[in-house]
Amino acid sequence: MLNPAAGDTPDWRRRWSLLLAKIERVQSPAQGQALLAELSHPTAPSVLAFANAHAMNSMAVSAPFFEAMQSADRVLRDGSGMATLFKMLRMEPGLNLNGTDLIPKLIHAFDGRGIALFGTRDPWLEKAWKRVGDELAPHSTVIHANGFLDAQAYAQLAAEHRPALIVLGMGMPRQEEVAAQLRGVLDYPCLIVCGGAIIDFLGGKTPRAPLWMRKTGTEWVYRLALEPRRLFQRYVIGNPLFLTRALRLASVNRR
């Protein structure tokens, strides 16, 4: 697991700037629908990743994680922290396309085609698999495997079953690294999604915050209250660190 509070590397500003330039900022619901339609019809193995404050902090201290994020085919903005960063840089942040909301829509869009869930562990994985098969994609064949295998095992499963959508729920940085490896070995069109805790959400392990917290960008407070020990480093230490780095980047850009 990455420690985003570790010392910055000398070129963290370059890493942030490169990824910020790569992030697709969707400005309207109509554009969001067009993006969803495009993502649901891959023409080659492709990776979809999400950039949030934790990802940006992690990139500041880890070159391999930065390279995995930068190699993704599509990167979307996730969370209010990223909106704040874009505004500091005098850039329109666009819609918040977080994976927790977008991935279930993607799963539904792939209904009728093969789907793979790779991540977390039972009973949450089994519950997520059942929910996807019963509710989100009832016409799909859905395979699943826990999130603690090596990348070769996932590659073998994908090569055998050829799912059109592969959802990885392993957390950063592992899922981004596994995604890059899968894209490198698979030989058919598919979308590989770096989904964070999405399989836990689908399986009922992690409940969603009330709607008003989601709309105000404070769902992280709800998650921290539920899992203070696991998320203390990410939010209590990580959020002020992210804002400090954001201010430093914005200051340099203004000069």
With 0-12 CB in 10 A as exposed, 13-18 as middle and 19+ as buried, what is 101? Answer: middle
Q: What is the pLDDT of residue 50?
A: 97
CA 193-17-192 angle, to 5 degrees, is: 10
3-class DSSP assignment, residue 227: coil
3-class DSSP assignment, residue 79: coil
Cβ atoms of 9 and 61 closer than 8 Å: yes
Q: What is the pLDDT of residue 252?
A: 81
Q: What is the pLDDT of residue 208?
A: 84
DSSP one-letter code for 98: -
Question: Which of the residues in the chain have pLDDT under 70?
Answer: 1-9, 255
Query: In the chain, where does DSSP find H-type helix?
Result: 12-22, 29-39, 53-61, 63-71, 80-88, 99-109, 124-131, 151-161, 174-185, 198-202, 211-215, 219-226, 228-231, 238-254
What is the number of other CB atoms lying within 10 angstroms of the CB of residue 153? 13
**Of 10, 6, 13, nearest in space to 248 by CA:** 13
**105-130, pLDDT tens digit by residue?**
999 999 999 999 999 999 999 999 99
Q: What is the pLDDT of residue 6?
A: 59
Cβ atoms of 198 and 171 closer than 8 Å: no
79: left (phi over 0), alpha (psi -120 to 50) or beta: left
Q: Map out the domains of the chain with their CATH numbers.
A: 43-254 (3.40.50)
Q: What is the pLDDT of residue 218?
A: 85
Q: What is the pLDDT of residue 184?
A: 95
With 0-12 CB in 10 A as exposed, 13-18 as middle and 19+ as buried, what is 30? Answer: exposed
Q: What is the pLDDT of residue 211?
A: 87
Q: What is the pLDDT of residue 24?
A: 96
**Of 148, 144, 128, nearest in space to 198 by CA:** 128
DSSP one-letter code for 188: S
3-class DSSP assignment, residue 141: coil
